[in-house]
Each structure stands twice: as structure tokens, then as C-alpha cells.
Amino acid sequence: MSEPSVILPKWLTDWMELHDISLWGASELKDFLTPQDETGQRFPFAISFAIPMKPQIMVSISTGPNQAYADEYAKVNNRINELSEALAAEVKIRGFRSKPLAASLRTDTVNIKGDFPQKTAATRAGLGWIGRHCQLITRQFGSWVRLGTVFTDMELPCGPPLERNFCGSCTLCVEACPAKALKGNAWHPGLSREEILDVRICDRWKKEHYFQYHKGHNCGICSAVCPYGLKVLKRKPDKT
């Protein structure tokens, strides 16, 4: 077998190890409309990484969010933003363009979305697949993660992308959703968000019922009941 033409730079693997990031990868996004840099150029690649949430907190929100979850959500998002900024700076030091994607930032309030789907970069990097709850599911942490993305023009070995879901016939998340916003469709690449989730119904429910948690940006019930997350809890009962 021939050697790959592009290899991961050692500084990048060392950086991930230094920051205790165990789940990460690169994705090729040449066919996607990525954000632009200050000159109007887009980015052909992205580095994706996942930061796990505390399992004990995630399992505690099966009937609704609580303050511990809201605090953990903010803490992990802040860490992701710090890491993304730092990684983008490291990429620039080495002569490449880069741009971090802020965690959980809505830049399009009409369509209720950000500059680019973190989950798209993550599935293209092979980190996981999209569940019926419209969230990334990883083998390592289930869907109990938050995602970071740094766009770049630094060529990296990518993927392979995950192009199927591994949810089987499970619909626990769909049944648990109090807003009835999940449509039950199984994800595959190219399936639109709207075919999985009615984002307006979801958003409205959270604002009406959980406004005290980041102005209605928190729920997490669908993720709390995901069997892939519950496996993490059973496998690592002492992990916090």
C-alpha cells in the first residue's frame, strides 16, 4: 500500500494531546460554502474536535434542563472558543489561513442557525453521525459532546467521512422530545436539517419553558435519553 501524500503534522497531534482532546479530525469542505476570511476567500478544510460533557449532568436532564446543565453548557462552550482561537492562531503562525467557528452562536436569527453547521464538519471528519435528534453521535462519548471547528487552507488527511447512521430502529429521542419537534427520519448525507427537526417548534418550546437557561437556548432532553450516551455513563461511572 502506498504512503498517503499528506500526513498529519506532528505539531497538530502534539497540540491535541497537550489540550487533552482525544476525539478530533480533519474534513475536506471544498464542495461546501464555508465562512469567508477577511479577503473574501473560503476555506477548503476544517479541523473538528469534540469536548465531552459530564455524563452525570447529561443523564440528569432527561425530564428537562437544570442549572448544572446550563453551567456545564456555558463552561464547555467557553473552553471550545478558547481552544478554537488558540488553534487558529497556531495554524496562522505556520503560514496558513484559519478561522475559528464560535460555539453555539446564532448569526442567522431568522433561520435559527450559525455561520456553518459544526456537525457537517464533524461528520466529514469521521467523528460521528447525526442521530434522529439532529445531534452528532460519537462512538466515544455518544451525543454528550459539544463541537469545535477551525477552518483552514492547510491541507490535511481528511475523514473518512461517516455516510450512514447507526441508530437502527431506535426512536427514544423522538419519543422524549416534549415539543414533538423531531420527525423521526434517519440521517444520511444530504438530508436537510428540516427533514429531521422542526427547528422553530424546538426553539419556541425552549423559550416558553426553559427561558431561565440561557434565554431558552438549553434543553437537551433528546440527548439525555440517547443509548449511546447512556453507554458512556455505564462504561465510565467515575468519569466527570
In a domain, 5, yes or no: no
- Mean pLDDT of the region 24-45: 97
Q: Is the pLDDT of residue 225 over 50?
A: yes
Secondary-structure percent of the chain, ordered helix, strand, coil, rounded to 5? 35, 15, 50
Report if residue 2 sits inside a domain: no
CA gap 207, 213 in Å, rounded: 9
pLDDT digits (tens, 9 = 90+) for 36-67: 999 999 999 999 999 999 999 999 999 999 99
Give 62's Cβ-side CA count (13 Å radius): 11
pLDDT band at 240 (very low <50, low <70, confident <90, very high): very low
Length of the chain as a residue count: 240
Sheet holding 98-101, edge to edge: 23-28, 45-52, 145-152, 98-101
Residue 123: pLDDT over 60? yes
Domain span at residue 166?
A: 10-235
Residue 1 pLDDT > 90: no
Dihedral sign computed on CA atoms, order 39, 40, 43, 44: negative
Q: Decide which of 7 and 49 is more confident.
A: 49
Residue 88 maps to a domain: yes
Q: How does pLDDT run across 72-122, given as a tens digit for each residue?
A: 999 999 999 999 999 999 999 999 999 999 998 888 888 899 999 999 999
Q: Is residue 57 part of a domain?
A: yes
Count of structural domains within the chain: 1
- Model pTM score: 0.93
> Is residue 62 domain-resident?
yes
Nearest of 23, 151, 18 to residue 96 by alpha carbon: 151
The answer to whether residue 35 is domain-embedded is yes
pLDDT tens across 138-169, in order?
999 999 999 999 999 999 999 999 999 999 99
Q: What are phi and psi of 32, to 5 degrees?
A: -115, 155
Residue 64 within a domain: yes
Please indicate, yes or no, if residue 135 is contained in any of the structural domains.
Answer: yes
